[in-house]
């Protein structure tokens, strides 16, 4: 094997092990920045040793043992210098003779739990939502700061600073890198799901820039969702979120024209929908509902996405069922955006006038004041009701509000079609 190929193979192994390594090291050192450094140092050792010795039988345990040795060395140095941390060092020094076999056994026991602990820590509500997303992509997804910055169309320095601050928050709060138990668990899980869905949506519904979809973020979020579903298979909302993401992602390649213009759901070529993801989504949705989670916000949204996934042609869509699900969703998860989508669903099920009536009820919602989809939907209802002059003006208002260039072009084209 060529040297370059060997290095790539080692780095691929490292990418697989990285999150679990950091999880174990963070729990040991209570310092996520140090855990990342130690994992990186273990990679460097592997890159120098494995080409000579071959890849060990259990590379994860090997990397963990190497990182722990570095941690112990580091703490010894600190102790000699400062005579501090005596207790931790003793604890770690006691572990220095632990054989690889014992480490392997320990890792087998606790891995899922440690990784889950890291996910919950990175998504801790004490950290701002944006920083949680960046930190999760960094620690669990293994993305570089540059990759995260590109994905969020942000500056690398901004993301780096956000991550550093988040790590400090974790350190200052003395978080234990554990899965919360009892009442705390539900609230903390909601925060984890929120972060994963934020990452997904940032990719799926890119709000700024030229690209409507940034698939890397969707893929990362789906993977996080699958990992979480593997680790928490009895949590209906975990499955609901996974179902929602799989179903939405099944349409990724059908949503944009070759030159990048957005294609609305009803106009998409449904043969391009990814049937494997649809099957996975419907399966996860079924499991979420079977666990009694049918009215959870993510599960309800997945059920909505499933209505579209099940329709062979746009005209087969069960809009009555969709309107019903939105009626439920507005009580589970009240928000102006849900109200807006509910109006759209009712317009499809019961005619544009029904949509306009519901729209009038929410027209004054402050949260929707500069929200392009509101006039866009209203314009569509007016268009379908044959009120073309009003429709045109609403399409133009919507075009003036969106920051997405592709969407703007789409709305202006619809405005032009009103004469």
Q: CA 56, CA 20: separation in Å to the nearest integer? A: 17
What residues contact residue 343 under an 8 Å CB cut-off, 6+ apart?
355, 356, 358, 359, 362, 377, 381
Using rule CB under 8 A, residue 16 touches other proteins: yes
What are the structure tokens assigned to 230, written together? 């593997």
State in angstroms the smallest separation of the CB of 48 from other proteins: 19
Strand, coil or helix: what is 258?
coil
Using rule CB under 8 A, residue 405 touches other proteins: no
Residue closest to 17 by CA, chosen among 69, 53, 58:
58
The answer to whether residues 70 and 77 touch, using CB atoms and an 8 Å cutoff, is no
Using the contact rule CB under 8 A, the part of the chain among 4-12, 45-53, 291-299, 361-369 near other proteins is 4-12
Nearer to other proteins by C-beta: 38 or 284?
284
Sign for the pseudo-dihedral over CA of 202, 205, 208, 213: positive
Contacts 24+ apart (CB under 8 A), 73-80: none
Q: Return the residue of 258, 259, 334, 419 that touches other proteins, per CB under 8 A.
A: 258
Strand, coil or helix: what is 262?
strand
Nearer to other proteins by C-beta: 8 or 84?
8
What residues contact residue 224 under an 8 Å CB cut-off, 6+ apart?
119, 136, 140, 141, 196, 199
CA 379 from chain centre, in angstroms, equals 32
State in angstroms the smallest separation of the CB of 176 from other proteins: 22
Using rule CB under 8 A, residue 13 touches other proteins: yes
Q: Which residues ranging from 214 to 233 are in contact with other proteins (CB under 8 A)?
A: 219, 222-227, 230-231
Q: Return the residue of 312, 366, 386, 419 that touches other proteins, per CB under 8 A.
A: 312
Nearer to other proteins by C-beta: 30 or 226?
226
Q: Return the residue of 69, 85, 165, 310 that touches other proteins, per CB under 8 A.
A: 310
Q: Which residues ranging from 39 to 98 are in contact with other proteins (CB under 8 A)?
A: 55
State in angstroms the smallest separation of the CB of 362 from other proteins: 34
Helix H or strand E segment including 190 = helix 183-204
Using rule CB under 8 A, residue 264 touches other proteins: no
Helices 352-362 and 336-350, packing angle to 10 deg: 160
Using rule CB under 8 A, residue 393 touches other proteins: no
Nearer to other proteins by C-beta: 275 or 370?
275
What are the structure tokens assigned to 313, written together? 């042609």
Nearer to other proteins by C-beta: 45 or 55?
55
State in angstroms the smallest separation of the CB of 160 from other proteins: 22
Nearer to other proteins by C-beta: 109 or 184?
109
Give the count of beta carbons closer than 10 Å to the beta carbon of residue 357. 15
Scored b (16 or more CB within 10 A) or e, 113-126 reads ebbbbbbbbbbbee
Nearer to other proteins by C-beta: 135 or 242?
242
Q: Which residues ranging from 103 to 162 are in contact with other proteins (CB under 8 A)?
A: 112
Q: Which residues ranging from 329 to 368 are in contact with other proteins (CB under 8 A)?
A: none
The DSSP call for residue 335 is -
The answer to whether residues 10 and 55 touch, using CB atoms and an 8 Å cutoff, is yes
Q: Return the residue of 30, 76, 79, 270 that touches other proteins, per CB under 8 A.
A: 270
Q: Return the residue of 84, 96, 168, 279 that touches other proteins, per CB under 8 A.
A: 279
Nearer to other proteins by C-beta: 63 or 399?
63
State in angstroms the smallest separation of the CB of 230 from other proteins: 4
Q: Return the residue of 278, 358, 376, 411 that touches other proteins, per CB under 8 A.
A: 278
Residue closest to 404 by CA, chosen among 208, 152, 201:
208
Report the interface residues with other proteins, using CB under 8 A. 8-9, 11-13, 15-16, 55, 112, 219, 222-227, 230-231, 253, 258, 269-280, 282, 310, 312-313
């Amino acid at each position: 094997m060529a040297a370059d190929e060997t290095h790539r193979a080692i780095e691929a192994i490292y990418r697989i092990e990285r999150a679990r390594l950091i999880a174990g090291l963070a729990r040991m050192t209570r310092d996520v920045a140090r855990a990342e450094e130690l994992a990186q140092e273990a990679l460097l050792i592997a890159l120098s040793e494995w080409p000579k010795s071959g890849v060990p039988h259990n590379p994860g345990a090997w990397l963990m043992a190497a990182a722990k040795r570095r941690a112990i060395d580091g703490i010894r140095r600190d102790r000699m210098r400062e005579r501090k941390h005596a207790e931790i060092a003793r604890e770690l020094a006691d572990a220095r003779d632990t054989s690889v076999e014992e480490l392997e056994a320990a890792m087998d026991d606790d891995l899922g739990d440690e990784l889950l602990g890291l996910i919950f820590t990175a998504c801790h509500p004490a950290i701002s939502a944006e920083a949680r997303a960046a930190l999760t992509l960094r620690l669990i997804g293994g993305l570089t700061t540059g990759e995260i910055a590109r994905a969020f169309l942000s500056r690398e320095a901004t993301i780096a600073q956000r991550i550093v601050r988040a790590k400090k928050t974790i350190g200052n709060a003395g978080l234990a890198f554990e899965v919360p138990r009892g009442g705390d668990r539900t609230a903390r899980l909601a925060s984890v799901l929120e972060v994963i869905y934020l990452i997904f949506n940032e990719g799926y519904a890119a709000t700024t820039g030229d690209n409507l979809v940034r698939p890397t973020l969707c893929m990362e979020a789906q993977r996080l969702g699958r990992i979480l579903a593997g680790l928490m298979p009895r949590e209906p909302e975990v499955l609901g979120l996974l179902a929602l993401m799989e179903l939405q992602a099944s349409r990724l390649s059908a949503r944009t024209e070759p030159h990048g213009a957005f294609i609305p759901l009803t106009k998409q070529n449904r043969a391009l929908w990814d049937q494997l993801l649809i099957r996975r989504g419907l399966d996860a949705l079924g499991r979420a509902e079977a666990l009694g989670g049918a009215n959870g916000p993510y599960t309800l949204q997945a059920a909505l996405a499933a209505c579209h996934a099940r329709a062979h042609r746009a005209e087969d869509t069960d809009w009555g069922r969709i309107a019903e699900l939105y009626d439920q969703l507005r009580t589970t998860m009240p928000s102006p955006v849900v109200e807006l989508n509910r109006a759209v669903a009712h317009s499809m099920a019961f005619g544009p006038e029904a949509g306009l009536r519901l729209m009038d009820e929410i027209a004054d919602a402050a949260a929707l004041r500069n929200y392009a989809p509101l006039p866009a939907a209203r314009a569509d209802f007016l268009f379908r009701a044959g009120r073309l002059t009003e429709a045109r003006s609403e399409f133009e208002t919507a075009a003036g509000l969106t920051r997405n260039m592709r969407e703007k072009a789409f709305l202006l084209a619809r405005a032009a079609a009103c004469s």
